[in-house]
Amino acid sequence: MNYLISISWHILPIFTIEQVLEKIEKYDKTHKIAGIEIASKDFETMKKAALHSLGCKVNSYETEAMTQLLKKAGYEIVSFQDQADVYIINTCSVTNMADRKSRQMLHKAKKQNPNAVVVATGCYVQTATEKVAQDLSIDLVVGNNRKKDIVEILNEYYAEKEAGEQVKEEYVIDINHTDEYEDLEISTVTEHTRAHLKIQDGCNNFCSYCII
């Protein structure tokens, strides 16, 4: 357990180290003790998140954006091969093979850590909503218009879990009947020498051979 201690200089009682540690043990959240504000922060239990992107460059861009949102919220980003508390798979559905790879990655995540929260997002979620809803490997279903809210969705999930509610949550709408643009921004590029700029969600054409 690690603690951040900020001192209010206008009131400064003298405590021995033993006294401070004794008081810290009694407080696991932010408290004020005679002018000393003790904010506890358990770095050992900081949640770890792993993300994996399948498919197009838009997915890569949006996965990078979600990564930065999670970092800003205090998550530690780890490799998808590592143990994580949250696995987010940004799926693809342009072909049957893409569907299969998406399912494989979702199942792999749950197998790596059965206690982890597995989040399915991306085009496979939009095109196979019923299958995704029945997949026991998936804990959260996030549609293509809600990726920007990934931190809030996870916070809500954990709050409901602590309250004893174990219902799979789905955040999906029919994107074929909306022209909403999901504004996701990235400030840095970590794994590429070229940066992507997202200008459109989906496609305005309805080609017969394309499931998207």
**Average model confidence (pLDDT) for the chain?**
78
> At a CB cut-off of 8 Å and minimum separation 6, what does 188 contact?
68
Which pLDDT tens digit goes with each residue over 112-160?
A: 999 999 999 999 998 898 899 899 999 999 988 899 999 999 999 999 8
Could you identify the residue written with the tokens 């498919």?
55
Q: pLDDT tens digits, residue range 174-190?
A: 655 566 656 666 766 66
Which pLDDT does position 12 carry in this prediction?
A: 44
Does pLDDT of 2 surpass 90?
A: no
Task: Flag whether pLDDT at 45 surpasses 60.
Answer: yes
Tens-place pLDDT, residues 93-112: 988 899 999 999 999 999 99
Which residues does residue 154 pair with via DSSP β-bridges, in sequence order?
none
Report the pLDDT value the prediction gives residue 91, as an integer from 0 to 100. Answer: 96
Quick one: three-class SS letters along the chain? CEEEEEECCCCCCCCCHHHHHHHHHCCCCCEEECCEEEEEECHHHCCEEEEEECCCHHHHHHHHHHHHHHHHCCCEECCCCCCCCEEEEEECCCCHHHHHHHHHHHHHHHHHCCCCEEEEEEHHHHHCHHHHHHCCCCCEEECCCCHHHHHHHHHHHHHHHHCCCCCCEEECCCHHHCCCCCCCCCCCCCCCCCCCCCCCCCCCCCCCCCCC
Cross-strand pairs, 36: 7, 33
For the beta sheet containing 36-41, the strands, ordered from the edge strand earlier in sequence to the opposite edge, are 2-7, 36-41, 31-33
Q: Distances in Å between the alpha carbon of 124 and those of 23, 91, 127, 165, 177?
A: 51, 6, 5, 26, 17
Name residues whose C-beta falls within 8 Å of residue 161's C-beta, 6 or more positions apart in sequence.
none
Rounded to whole angstroms, what are the CA distances from 101 to 43, 54, 82, 144? 34, 8, 19, 18
Task: Tell which wins on pLDDT, 121 or 198.
Answer: 121
